[in-house]
A and B are shown apart, each in its own frame.
Chain A
Amino acid sequence: MAKITLDIFRFDQAVDDIPHRDKVALEIPETITVLDALEFAKAEVDGSISFRRSCRSAICGSCSMNINGVTGLACKTPCNTVLRSDGTIAIDPMPNFQPMKDLVVHMDPFWDKYTRLKPYLQPPDRDEDNPTERRVSPDDMKKLVEVANCVMCATCYALCPVVSVDPAFAGPAAIAYAYRFVEDVRDGQTKERLGQINDDYLWLCAHCYACSYCPKHVEPHDRIVDVKRRTVQESVHMNERGPRHALVVNKTIKQTGMLGETEVIQGTVGRFNIRGLLKVAPLGLRMASKGKLPPIFLRPIPKVDEVRTIFESLEVPTLK
């Protein structure tokens, strides 16, 4: 048994203007999970402490919260792995969400992003050869197993720095779920789905890998890259900045061996997009005033032919 103090965020939107904190001192085995500690606090000390949970075994996805600054499933986090030296554990609601009551948050923005994806199979017309079933080969299924493990706990969404400043971004879980249908051979709406997730700012992922802390190993950051590749393969939204950026980066590396900053800016924003260029111009001017502008023409690296050979051997889509 150990003396553990839970330092809990308390807030009730129905009565409180601002949140406060309650410290609940417990004597519990230190190997139990943070969720069990909360259950104990609720049963023995203060019945009004609110949090979501159901399965207690990392399957339902209800209990994600911020534990000593780290967001994750309370039922998968043993107290002794997070205990501070003073014996406390600070517990807060998931970041990037509006608190409702204590550790319970408004999940609506997260669900909305799923709903927009039409998250159900939309098969093409009936398969006359197989009228009663839609077959998937084990290989095709393999691609989906990882993402199918998503329990919609929103841990990744709470960790995403882009979501925290721009709620228009679909966020990691929804994009991983888009992958789940885009890569499903039984689905007939691939292009529509890619269009939808592109509209929901697929390319606004900042490549930060914060979502690599998904407790179910969905690896949303990798699925995001997969959906981007598929977008380019299917030539969806090719006039938007995201795909153009990817292609112009490839183009400059193929030509010079280096990522040509100047050309990438022009190629992404659009050489003739005067408004767009003017928007990046103030920064450009500030940089120019410090002699900090990247060169306009890059000298190719030595043996750049080798780089071209690599590109040509691996067949990238090229910029016209």
Chain B
Amino acid sequence: MTTLLPEHQVRDAHRHSKSSQTKRYGFFPGCVAKESCKELFNSTMLLADRLGIELIELTAASCCGASVVNDTNRDIARVLNARTYAQAEALGLDDVITICSTCTGHMRAANKELLESEERMTHANAILGKFGAKYEGNVMVRHLLWLLIDDIGLDTLRSMVVRPLNGLKVAPFYGCHIIRPESVNGWESARNPHSLEDLIEAIGGEAIDYAGKTRCCGFHIQLEKGNTAASMVGQNMRIAKDKGAEAVLTPCPLCHLALDGYQQDAAARWGRTDLPVFHLPQLVAFALGIPAQKLGLNKHLIDPRVVLTDRELIA
């Protein structure tokens, strides 16, 4: 019978074991980084390389359920994620690193459900057993953002910066599922998180404090009612722009699709904002000296190279 550890104990166990070992992590890129935001995937790999950590992609992992699978069935997303965790364990990897706020929240929620109930764990394993897999309950899901701060550390990052952002005014945009609900995430305060701000400052930017940073980008209702979703983008970008932001930084590719794609559609109601939106690893990798051409900045709808040129960060 599996013994289930509460997550904080798992986390402590990780902390202690991590320091002495080489840094190898299970890596769950998520669907969007493999489809319409490939630049996110590529810049993550480049950044990992620069940081000297090994991200081992779980290539046979499925979608996390993206918060939508739950809309029809309580159990499927949980078991899909259990399958992913079993794959990580089979590779000897207990850490699963994500690069999407929605993946983070939903994979952590599934893991919490499994770790908190023998019944659910047994149920999931009964299904995994049909193809010879088993989840032992050792995995911890973390976002790359948390890895950067907990495992690499802001001081180390600061020391690795070769191209400081020259005071570029960056508005952090967290994405709901990396902070809420607090019972699932809880890595930092959901009402007043500051990890992105800390990171922005560490790489030489100026973090903009604005009310929109913990709000919703509307991604999940884009197809339901496009105007409403666009308006959610416009509202948040308006506040950021009025506070002086020159760019936005997000750890979530869904937020990226929304913010980068819909500002134009929101202009009628909220005025033009045209804020370029960076993926988290793009901007960090840039500050750490990875050439801008390698980061896929040309794939964005609002070209971020303009502000970088204005700030004399690229020629």
Q: Which residues on A are within 8 Å of B, measured CB to CB?
A: 69-70, 161-162, 164-166, 169, 201, 203-210, 212, 221, 225, 228-229, 232, 241-242, 245-247, 249-250, 253, 257-261, 264-265, 268-269, 279-280, 283, 286-287, 290-295, 298, 301-307, 309-311, 313-317
Interface pair B224/A303, CB less than 8 Å apart: no
Q: How far is the CA of A292 from the CA of B223 in the complex (A)?
A: 18
Among residues of B, the one whose C-beta sits closest to the C-beta of A221 is B181
Q: Which B residues lie within 8 Å of A169 (CB)? A: 228
The residue that A303 contacts in the complex, of B76, B131, B299, B301, with Cβ under 8 A, is B131
Among residues of A, the one whose C-beta sits closest to the C-beta of B102 is A207
Q: Which B residues lie within 8 Å of A315 (CB)? A: 73
Q: Decide yes or no whether B21 CB sits under 8 A from chain A.
A: no
* 9 residue pairs A–B, Cβ–Cβ below 8 Å: A206-B221, A245-B224, A249-B69, A259-B66, A301-B61, A304-B62, A310-B79, A310-B127, A316-B73
Interface pair A241/B231, CB less than 8 Å apart: no
Q: How far is the CA of A225 from the CA of B181 in the complex (A)?
A: 15
Taking the closest CB of chain B, its distance from the CB of A240, in whole angstroms, is 9
Interface pair A247/B72, CB less than 8 Å apart: yes
Q: Decide yes or no whether B70 CB sits under 8 A from chain A.
A: yes
* Residues in B86-142 with C-beta less than 8 Å from chain A: 127, 130-131, 133
What 8 pairs across the A-B complex have the smallest Cβ distances? A208-B216, A209-B180, A294-B35, A165-B231, A246-B71, A302-B60, A257-B62, A166-B228
Interface pair B63/A258, CB less than 8 Å apart: yes
Mark B219-231 against chain A: 1 for CB-CB distance below 8 A, else 0: 1110111111101
Q: How far is the CA of A229 from the CA of B70 in the complex (A)?
A: 8
Q: How far is the CA of A185 from the CA of B300 in the complex (A)?
A: 51
Q: How far is the CA of A291 from the CA of B223 in the complex (A)?
A: 21
Q: How far is the CA of A242 from the CA of B220 in the complex (A)?
A: 10
Q: Decide yes or no whether B80 CB sits under 8 A from chain A.
A: yes
Interface pair A212/B127, CB less than 8 Å apart: no
Q: How far is the CA of A242 from the CA of B68 in the complex (A)?
A: 10
The residue that B232 contacts in the complex, of A161, A207, A247, A291, with Cβ under 8 A, is A161
Among residues of A, the one whose C-beta sits closest to the C-beta of B191 is A70
The residue that A258 contacts in the complex, of B34, B181, B220, B300, with Cβ under 8 A, is B34
Taking the closest CB of chain B, its distance from the CB of A124, in whole angstroms, is 27
Q: Decide yes or no whether B156 CB sits under 8 A from chain A.
A: no
Q: How far is the CA of A232 from the CA of B69 in the complex (A)?
A: 12
Taking the closest CB of chain A, its distance from the CB of B251, in whole angstroms, is 16
Assuming the contacts A259-B31, A307-B83, asked whether A241 and B71 have C-beta atoms less than 8 A apart, the reply is no
Q: Which A residues lie within 8 Å of B130 (CB)? A: 309, 313
Q: Which B residues lie within 8 Å of A258 (CB)? A: 31, 34-35, 62-63
11 other A-B residue contacts (CB within 8 Å) besides A279-B226, A280-B226: A161-B218, A165-B235, A204-B225, A206-B216, A208-B180, A257-B61, A293-B36, A303-B131, A307-B62, A313-B130, A314-B79
Q: Which B residues lie within 8 Å of A307 (CB)? A: 62, 80, 83
Q: Which B residues lie within 8 Å of A264 (CB)? A: 223
Among residues of A, the one whose C-beta sits closest to the C-beta of B87 is A303
Mark B167-180 against chain A: 1 for CB-CB distance below 8 A, else 0: 00000000011001
Assuming the contacts A206-B218, A287-B36, asked whether A166 and B226 have C-beta atoms less than 8 A apart, the reply is no
Q: Which A residues lie within 8 Å of B313 (CB)? A: none
Taking the closest CB of chain B, its distance from the CB of A140, in whole angstroms, is 18
Q: How far is the CA of A222 from the CA of B36 in the complex (A)?
A: 29
Interface pair A162/B228, CB less than 8 Å apart: yes
Assuming the contacts A206-B221, A210-B180, A245-B223, asked whether A261 and B68 have C-beta atoms less than 8 A apart, the reply is no
Q: Decide yes or no whether B211 CB sits under 8 A from chain A.
A: yes
Interface pair B232/A249, CB less than 8 Å apart: no
Taking the closest CB of chain A, its distance from the CB of B153, in whole angstroms, is 28
Interface pair B72/A229, CB less than 8 Å apart: yes
Interface pair A241/B216, CB less than 8 Å apart: no
Interface pair B224/A203, CB less than 8 Å apart: yes
Q: How far is the CA of A247 from the CA of B69 in the complex (A)?
A: 8
Q: Decide yes or no whether B215 CB sits under 8 A from chain A.
A: yes
Q: How far is the CA of A27 from the CA of B221 in the complex (A)?
A: 48
Assuming the contacts A268-B223, A286-B301, asked whether A294 and B216 have C-beta atoms less than 8 A apart, the reply is no
Q: Decide yes or no whether B74 CB sits under 8 A from chain A.
A: yes
Interface pair A301/B301, CB less than 8 Å apart: no
Interface pair A212/B181, CB less than 8 Å apart: yes
Q: Which A residues lie within 8 Å of B67 (CB)? A: 207
Among residues of A, the one whose C-beta sits closest to the C-beta of B226 is A279
Q: Decide yes or no whether B32 CB sits under 8 A from chain A.
A: yes
Interface pair A204/B211, CB less than 8 Å apart: no
Q: Decide yes or no whether B49 CB sits under 8 A from chain A.
A: no
Among residues of B, the one whose C-beta sits closest to the C-beta of A166 is B228
Among residues of B, the one whose C-beta sits closest to the C-beta of A253 is B63
Taking the closest CB of chain A, its distance from the CB of B81, in whole angstroms, is 10
* Residues in B136-153 with C-beta less than 8 Å from chain A: none
Q: Which B residues lie within 8 Å of A314 (CB)? A: 73, 75-76, 79, 127
The residue that A209 contacts in the complex, of B31, B72, B181, B228, with Cβ under 8 A, is B181
Q: How far is the CA of A291 from the CA of B38 in the complex (A)?
A: 10
Q: Decide yes or no whether B7 CB sits under 8 A from chain A.
A: no
The residue that B74 contacts in the complex, of A229, A301, A302, with Cβ under 8 A, is A229
Q: How far is the CA of A205 from the CA of B31 in the complex (A)?
A: 22
Q: How far is the CA of A292 from the CA of B80 in the complex (A)?
A: 28
The residue that B224 contacts in the complex, of A241, A301, A310, A311, with Cβ under 8 A, is A241
Q: Which B residues lie within 8 Å of A245 (CB)? A: 68, 223-224
